[in-house]
Amino acid sequence: MTALQERARRDVIALREPPSTDASAEPSDASRLVVDALAPGREVGSPGRAHLSGADRVPPADRPAVVTPACRPEPTASRATGRTGGRPLAHWPVHAEQFPVPGIGAAALAGRLESAVVADADDVELLGLVVGWQQLIGLAVAAQASVVRELLARGHGLWGDLPQEVAAALAWTRTAAQMMVARAGSLGDHPALDEALRSGAMDVRKVDLVLDEVAALVVGTDELPDRDSVGRATEQVVAMAAESASDLTPTQLRRTVRREVLAVDPAATRARAAQARARRCVRVDWAPDGMAWVSAFLTAPDAMVVRTVLDAATDVTDLVDDRTRDQRRADLFVALFRDIADSGVLPCGERLPTRQRTRPHIQVTVAATTLLGLDDNPAELAGHGPIPAETARLIASDGTWRRLLTDPADGTLLERSSRAYRPGAVLGAHVIARDVTCTFPGCVRPAGTSELDHIAPYRATATGGDVGPPQTTASNLHAVCKRHHDLKTQGLWKVTRDLPGGGTAWTSQLGITYVTHPQPVLATPRAWQHAPRTHHPPDDAPPPF
């Protein structure tokens, strides 16, 4: 036993002795150390479990005292005020409440958390509040999931379209909404996960990773020949995960669940590999300052081919080239695709497919005054958003210019039309530049990779032309991605033109209407950007000025 531990043991014994009858006697420094260690309303020997105190009192004499002075600095004590660690000795926790609170409802938990006076809480109590609010988030997610399951149970033909309803209502992407709907169904299938989420033992991230790992348990292996065996194995793994999740980080939990999955079904490794290969993809994520990330999810051998080529091609010594190795790798990566875009020919020898009767290209909308260097207003890169004027000038220096006519009042494009069913290149480019993205609420698929759809169906004559006034007009056309075009074609969503505002109105099966408006071609400069500079006449008076 170390000297520090021996001192702590003596201090605990001294604290348990009957109090002195001498009112003038002052507590020893050692006893103050033990009292302060107990005062904040937590068991020192139980890290990771914070408590929120209610009313205050002196801790009972029979309370177990476990002191670890090495983990807590010795407090300063004021003999004049009887305070230890800044807290009055007569105001200690009476009911040390532990978070998370099992078996509590969202309303009751919210009431307790809302009633806490944050400014009066010590650090440990504040940490307890953080844990409590996290539990409330889990309760809210579980309650929301039960509502989603009720929508699914009612049917109304929403099963395939419910993620889209949710995405529009919350202004989410369809992918995020699909994850939420799938999670809701899984929480109903696995009550242990639902209870762990409500009790605060798990958060949403842990729930999702458990569901991702158990997805490797599939029918058809020697250990899991039928659906019943898969169900039993899944419940076994889920129950284990729900029980141990509170003490594990997400990474630790994933590894634990994966080991359990492999123990239940060794063939799950092959299933996981097949699932992973099926998810291979390339993504582009926009970054600030006119930059972006290109991420590829590949098999390990394919990734090594990419890395080996990039390393070999940039492993050169050039005294003239002052680029870093990373910069050379990035430039080579872009050059491979730039050559394909310029030639229009794929490495296999086939030509690049056209879109809207034009070869794939990038589109930048920039004011003529910005191109001429008269101002530095931002430009618009289709599919990305605003980019700095300097970047736009660099692109324009090696591009083909096309004039767009805009309304000077609001920056929207002026009307163009055609009597043919398919819009011409000029009209198509006009609609793409106006809509920027798919017009479905929340969809960010670039208009250039979307389809051009007639809002009011095109009515053709026997000779192939349209009837009456032109129907292939900018006001009757909108850009819509394939997925959302199918929703309209199948009658799941109805589309109309919101004429007063010029927007596109989408109405769901539930009768809820969402309107998206065309974006101005360019951002309107603020008034202060055009304010004339104030020139003060020189002051001819002698210094100081």
Mean pLDDT of 356-378: 71
Please state the domain extents for the chain. Answer: 3-98, 154-278, 281-343, 364-516
Model pLDDT for residues 76-102, shown as the tens digit of each residue: 333 333 333 333 323 323 234 567 888
| C-alpha distances out from residue 412 to 113, 189, 202, 392, 425, Å | 49, 50, 49, 20, 19
pLDDT at 439 over 80: yes
Please give the Cα distance from 82 to 88 (Å, whole number): 7
For helices 29-38 and 3-16, what crossing angle results, to 10°?
80
142 touches 242 (CB < 8 A): no
More confident residue, 144 or 366: 144
Model pLDDT for residues 225-237, shown as the tens digit of each residue: 778 888 888 999 9
Model pLDDT for residues 499-544, shown as the tens digit of each residue: 666 789 999 988 899 998 876 655 554 443 444 444 555 556 565 5
Measured distance between the N- and C-terminal CA atoms of the chain, rounded to whole angstroms: 76
Please give the Cα distance from 197 to 285 (Å, whole number): 31
Provide the pLDDT for residue 472. 79
Provide the pLDDT for residue 191. 95
pLDDT band for position 393 (50/70/90)? confident
pTM of structure: 0.61
DSSP SS3 for 313: helix
Mean pLDDT of 282-286: 88
C-alpha neighbours within 13 Å on the C-beta side of residue 245: 29
Model pLDDT for residues 285-317, shown as the tens digit of each residue: 888 877 889 999 999 899 999 999 998 888 776
Provide the pLDDT for residue 182. 94
More confident residue, 174 or 429: 174
Provide the pLDDT for residue 59. 39
Please give the Cα distance from 429 to 385 (Å, whole number): 17
Residue 377 is encoded by which pair of tokens? 């207003």
493 touches 508 (CB < 8 A): yes
Which residue type sits at 183? R
Among 6-10, 481-485, 490-494, name the one with the lowest average pLDDT.
Answer: 6-10
131 touches 120 (CB < 8 A): no
36 touches 85 (CB < 8 A): yes
Mean pLDDT value across the chain: 74
Please give the Cα distance from 247 to 193 (Å, whole number): 15
pLDDT at 280 over 90: yes
Model pLDDT for residues 317-345, shown as the tens digit of each residue: 677 888 888 999 999 999 998 888 888 88
SS3 content of the chain, % helix, strand, coil (to 5): 45, 15, 45
Among 78-87, 448-457, 468-477, name the one with the lowest average pLDDT.
Answer: 78-87
More confident residue, 50 or 134: 134
Q: Which helix (H) or strand (E) holds 148?
A: helix 123-154
